[in-house]
Amino acid sequence: MKKLSPKSKAKSGMKKPAARHPEYQYLDLLEDILENGTVKHDHNTGIGLTSVFGRQMRFDLSKGFPLLTTKKVPWNSIMHELYWFMSGQTNVKYLIENKVPIWNDYPYKIYMKKADKGLLPKLTLEEFVDKIRNDNDFAGEHGDLPHIYGEQWRAWQASDGRKIDQLAWVVDTLKNFPERKHAILSAWNPQFLYAMAKPGEALSFPLCHILFHFNVSGNKLSCLLYQRSCDMFLGVPFNIASYAALTMIIAKIAGYEPGEFVHTLGDAHIYHDHIEQVKEQLKREPKKFPKLVLSKDVKDLASFRPSMVTLEDYNPHDYLKAKMTVAGGFDEKDRKVSKVKKMVKKSKTNGNAKAKK
């Protein structure tokens, strides 16, 4: 039987198959991980996870805002966290005051390491958060997370003492040089990461979404994110919506229409204590994506506020609750392990060299 070309199909009255809901990209990736992933364990907590490497999703922002509908995702937390990044903040006090709990565990973990050594009084997480909220001096001393996203985006520390505002530079580049290919922002600063940092200066919490690249095609602005570590159940739904919103905000400031958000994932994984929730989510049918409406007052980075962004027509399935996994990051003991491995490798090399002689 002769196959019809797309034009012939149109002339014959044959209907094109309906496009799949874009949320299926996310759901398909969950299934891919469950079916084809490799079982691993987080190096700090020992928690099991199943992962795949190297995947990508694309969302056309002219066809709805990609806030997942197969479970309710807390928009308030996403928008305030994004503003926290965009405004260059690094202290969790702002987040706590706006009822965003997702970063609380990280400064608390640092505090308790000192408390376990007898340097500070021990507190429960709830007591710690309450003191951050109500005690400015305590928040200033224990609520700050230096060298994370806000600092890298807005005040990257240069070797000559300057602080580089990458986000402002990106906006200027998009306005004045739209056809150039270098509108890139990186949060991956080796000076403060893992064993590359000086002893005592390494971040003890992970930076996961580490590089994004804007592109202007015609009058549309698109963004490609590279995320090295991707907690598929809890983290990635936040990341999709956060960077889609960032793309729309930067497009508005720079004078463009929103194009695509392209999400490139490195290690995409499901923690084993999230598997039952994932299986429940996979039973649900996606609903129509909501709309994100930006006020005409969105004009520049300095005056931007979360209140200028409104989410409309969001009608998702119910929440699927799961415990956040405080995993990854760097511990100074890893530096010692790394040195031991190098010494063992050097010893074996020398031994092999002697044997050959």
DSSP 10-59: HHHTPPPPPPPPTTHHHHHHHHHHHHHPEEEE-TTT--EEEEEEEEEEEE
Q: 338: which residues sit within 8 A by CB, 6+ positions away?
A: 195
Q: Which segments within the chain are labelled E, that is strand?
A: 38-41, 48-60, 156-157, 163-164, 184-186, 209-217, 220-231, 257-271, 291-294, 309-312
Q: Are 80 and 100 in contact (CB under 8 A)?
A: yes
**How far is it, in rounded angstroms, from Cα 11 to Cα 7?**
6
Question: Is 230 part of the annotated catalytic residue set?
Answer: no
**How far is it, in rounded angstroms, from Cα 199 to Cα 158?**
19
Q: Which segments within 110-256 are labelled E, that is strand?
A: 156-157, 163-164, 184-186, 209-217, 220-231
Q: Which residues pair with 223 in a beta bridge?
A: 214, 261
Residue with tokens 């965003």, as numbered in its chain: 100
Do you know the residue count of the chain? 357
Single-letter code of the amino acid located at 276: E
**How far is it, in rounded angstroms, from Cα 167 to Cα 174?**
11
Q: Are 192 and 173 in contact (CB under 8 A)?
A: no
Which of the residues 27, 49, 68, 208 is marked catalytic? Answer: 208
Rg (CA), the chain: 23
From the list 215, 225, 223, 224, the residue with the least C-alpha distance to 248 is 223
Q: Are 77 and 102 in contact (CB under 8 A)?
A: yes
Catalytic (active-site) positions: 208
